[in-house]
A and B are shown apart, each in its own frame.
Chain A
Amino acid sequence: MLEFIVGHFNYWVVIVLMMTGLYVVISTGNLVKKLVGIGIFQTSVFQLYISLGKVVGGSPPILEYLPKEYAKEASNYVETATKTAVATEENAIQPISDIGGTIDVASDPLMGVIYSNPLPHVLILTAIVVGVATLAVGLALVVRIREEYGSIEEIQINEAEYKQEAGGS
């Protein structure tokens, strides 16, 4: 039960944040506050994606070793790994014991390091920049509405609209 709660806690908080954003969008009549609500909603979607890509015990998806460094690093890696394997005989995590002293790039290109999933990061990274650009479009519209109607409150804009229509006909 506790594991289930910890394993799903992130989704629940993300949903609470998402709903907070939605609440701001539908409850307030102020257009700038509405855009802040959309921002909260949007950020919660980002958080959902990123938390899906997390791997427990993982590190950021920036590789520690590259082929050029392999020859040098691989020997160090085996040495330290055997040392730790000896030191922690009883431990469950012994990545090097399976490989048996030789690093095979084809079978384990990541050299036993756990990384989080980079794909959601790419999607969200670009989405954040696109998000601020679209937010700017929204704000620009709000500024124009204010110049046209003298207000950014829904009720007052509607009133001004009715007045214009009544005056026009």
Chain B
Amino acid sequence: MEMTFPVDMNLPINLFTIFDMVLLSMLVIVAIAIVRLNSLFSIVMLFGVYSLLSATWFVSLDAVDVAFTEAAVGAGISTVLMLGAMLLTSREALPTPPLRRWTSLLIVTATGIALIYATFDMPSFGDANSPANSYVGMEYMARTITDISVPNVVTAILASYRGFDTFGEVVVVLTAGLGVMLILGIGGSKRAAGTAQLKATSTPEPKLPVTVAGAKGPASNHHVVLRVVAKMLVPMIVLYALYVQFHGDYGPGGGFQAGVIFASAVILYSLIFGMEETRRAFPPGLVRFCSVLGVFIYGGTGLVTIILGGKFLDYNMLDKHDPIHAQHFGILLIELGVLVTVAGVMLSIYYGFAGRYRELEDRNW
């Protein structure tokens, strides 16, 4: 561990703190811009910027896995979902009446002052001996080498020490996905039937609903660049997702990030080629099945360890000769479950929103 740039960590203000302060100021500026704007499009795009800045700060705070997730989720999926919801609702927010503005400001200021008063008792930033950094977290850090022996301690905790918690999180993700499916329907199977009927009844007319997906003639030529680039990008994104998945033990990454990246590859595909094509490549039924299958793989691994004589998610039972090998095997299995569920749920959510929206017509591109 040698520092290659001159930073004196003993100074109260060094290069690191200046970097942090610049990032934090940018975060505050973006947040205030979001408060002041009324155009929903700008607000949603700025929220993506906010997430990306926040991910940068997480890197500076050594939380590379978190930064990875925040960049993929915040700047990727959640921006797409918000844009989708905005398209389905409205583009402008009504300005806030002054009375309400001032009352809110009063409440928020009072709460803020109370909270800032409470921070005077908090341990100072980066304190290695603070309560949060003294007990179980550092214990995991020290034990991972002998217990699990994967370099990425975050993966070790997520998948092994706290595997049961992660199982809970995966189930929560599935539940939220089911919630969206119940509220919005499962990605336009009804709509698809509707357009099919429409096509069947109005075949002789030349003014067919020329969708981006359906357009295979000369009409689609004007975004040929997008199509070619997307066609090259999508496999690479999927490959990257798999790399993140299988390299999660050794570097930042894992099932959550890989699932989100995989879903964003499919979303990119659908943005360029249209929902109809996407539904053919990744049928909604398959996606729905995947979101449940992942939870099944995860829970199934737990059940297998019980059957082999251990406790729920006690991976050491998977290979009784080499506990470390068993741990690696268990982590691989449950990360696979996380990948399948997260990708499935993100895609079913996306299908749910996209199914509400008519295909973008060619002339509107």
Tell me the A residues contacting B by CB distance below 8 Å: 2-4, 6-13, 15-24, 26-33, 35-37, 39-40, 43, 46-47, 50-67, 84, 105, 109-110, 112-122, 124-137, 139-144, 146, 151-153, 155
Contact = CB atoms under 8 A, between A and B. Distances in A.
Interface string B97-112: 0001100110111011
A56 B217 CA distance: 60
B88 interface: yes
A19 B12 CA distance: 27
A135 B76 CA distance: 13
Contacts of A19: 108-109, 111-112, 115
B178 to A, nearest CB: 9
29 contacts: A4-B124, A6-B125, A7-B124, A18-B112, A27-B96, A27-B101, A27-B104, A28-B96, A30-B93, A33-B43, A47-B54, A47-B58, A53-B137, A56-B9, A62-B250, A64-B151, A67-B146, A110-B141, A112-B1, A114-B128, A125-B65, A128-B69, A129-B69, A136-B180, A139-B81, A139-B84, A140-B183, A141-B183, A144-B183
B339 to A, nearest CB: 11
Contacts of B58: 46-47, 50
A54 B158 CA distance: 18
Given A7-B124, A15-B119, A59-B1, A122 B154 contact: yes
Contacts of A4: 124
B233 to A, nearest CB: 22
Contacts of A6: 12-13, 17, 124-125
A115 B153 contact: yes
B153 to A, nearest CB: 4
- Contact-residue size bin, chain B (C-beta under 8 Å from the other chain): 35 or more
B352 A53 contact: no
A128 B35 CA distance: 22
Given A15-B115, A128-B69, A152-B89, A118 B177 contact: no
Interface stretch (B165-173, B205-213, B307-315): B165-173
B188 to A, nearest CB: 13
Nearest to B152: A62
Nearest to B91: A32
Contacts of B166: 126
A59 to B, nearest CB: 6
Contacts of A128: 66, 69-70, 73-74, 256
Interface in B291-325: none
A55 B128 contact: yes
Interface of B: 1-2, 9, 12-13, 17, 20-21, 24, 27-28, 31-32, 34-35, 40, 43-44, 47, 50-51, 54, 57-58, 61-66, 69-70, 73-74, 77-78, 81-82, 84-86, 88-90, 93-94, 96, 100-101, 104-105, 107-109, 111-112, 115-116, 119-120, 122-128, 130, 132-133, 136-138, 140-146, 149, 151-154, 157-158, 162, 165-166, 169, 172-173, 176-177, 179-180, 183-184, 250-252, 254, 256, 259-260, 342, 345-346, 349, 352-353, 356
Nearest to B176: A133
A11 B107 CA distance: 19
A-B pairs, top 5 by smallest CB distance, nearest first, are A7-B124, A56-B126, A133-B176, A119-B137, A30-B93
A66 B145 CA distance: 6
A113 B1 contact: yes
A20 B31 contact: yes
B345 A22 contact: no
Contacts of B96: 27-29
A130 B173 contact: yes
Contact of A30 (B9, B74, B94): B94
A36 B86 CA distance: 12
Nearest to B131: A52
B119 A32 contact: no
A51 B20 CA distance: 11
A63 B145 contact: yes
Contact of A62 (B64, B128, B352): B64
A129 to B, nearest CB: 5
Contacts of A113: 1
Nearest to A25: B104
B145 A109 contact: yes
